[in-house]
Structure 1
Amino acid sequence: MRRSGSSRPSPVLFAALGAVVISVLVVATWQVWSNDNALSERGQQASGRVVKVTTGKNSRVHVEFRTADGRQVRSTIGQGDEAPGPRAKAGDLVAIIYDPLHPEDDLRDARAPENHKVASLLLGATVLAVVAIPAATWAGIRARRRERSATPADQH
């Protein structure tokens, strides 16, 4: 015979962790979407020198450039915002689009088309979490109630 509730996490704990996950997804979605919109609305073009290229799962192109007001900035070209074709190498000059209010945020390669893939994926994950976590929490609460109301003869 199994003890009641021993195989399921507490619905309250599940809901609390779900709220944290949803909060993180909302903040990440907002930041990526805001940065994409800033580049579209007020982005300025500059020439940047590639200082480092990281490869692997989180491959990125790191660029140094000078803003229109003369500040020297080092930032990264956003995931998927690189131009099609061969990847830039350290020392290459690339045309970039940056947000003059936050030049240290992710950049976009000026030759690349606008890309909202990451923002769209995050938005989809956020919507899924907003629907799935409360539904799973409610299912857990209902299962607990059924277990508690079951008679001892039903728990064989």
Structure 2
Amino acid sequence: MKSFQQDWLSNIRGDLLAGLVVALALIPEAIAFSIIAGVDPKVGLYASFCIAVVIAFTGGRPGMISAATGAMALVMVTLVKDHGLQYLLAATVLTGVLQIVAGWVRLGVLMRFVSRSVVTGFVNALAILIFLAQLPELTNVTWHVYAMTAAGLAIIYG
């Protein structure tokens, strides 16, 4: 009982604050990745909530955030378009199983053989693909959208 209290109830204030910050950050991210993947934003919100609940009870590491990623959203675009939404769940479950197996056989140590330039190239290509996926959202809209986009870019680069 003492171990349960120490593991689960020792930092309630900090855990609630961290959970609130992560939840507020994940809501727009889940909606954006849903739009990129071509599914209803409610699907992304439900999936993000399910990921958070599963990770909360199955464990994780301090400071680790489990959520949807831009790389998966971009890959799922063609899957959803070609086969429909029902294949998205199967692909997600298969991805999770493969990640569990990769962790079990400790394939993470192979990441040290991937050079920094390869990782940088992957991240930059991902950023370009996300930008290109968002371009259709900027067509046939009012000037307010362009003003907000310019303000957001100014904040990011400022």
Specify which structure has the higher proportion of helix: 2
Flag the structure with more relative contact order, 1 or 2, with Cα contacts below 8 A and sequence separation at least 6: 1
Specify which structure has the higher proportion of strand: 1
Q: Same fold by TM (over 0.5)? A: no
Tell me the TM-score range normalised by the shorter chain. Answer: under 0.3
> Which protein is bigger by CA-based radius of gyration?
1
TM-score (norm 1): 0.25
